[in-house]
Amino acid sequence: ASDGSTMPEVLGDTSCLVGQIEDPGALAAAMDRMFADPDYRADLARRGLITSERFSKRSFADRLAALIDECRTLKPLALQRAA
């Protein structure tokens, strides 16, 4: 993946960041490494699956439920201003 935009934040260490996509040499080198090194490929795949759990439906639902619970404990802004 490119190291531009939000990819480093989303992927963390689960991807081979190759620099700007406009650098075909860096992309080719990253692809060569993945094709040539089965252990590296397996490690990327393993770490990618772990990272993907952050974006699963279950993870999203759990975070949303926690946010809703937190919001329920907050005082409405109108009541805060009246106090």
pLDDT tens-digit map of 46-78 = 888 888 888 889 999 999 999 999 888 887 766
Residue 5: strand, helix, or coil: coil
- CA 43 from centre of chain: 17
Q: Report the percentage of the chain scoring pLDDT > 90.
A: 23
Joined tokens for residue 39: 């252990």
Q: What is the pTM of this model?
A: 0.56
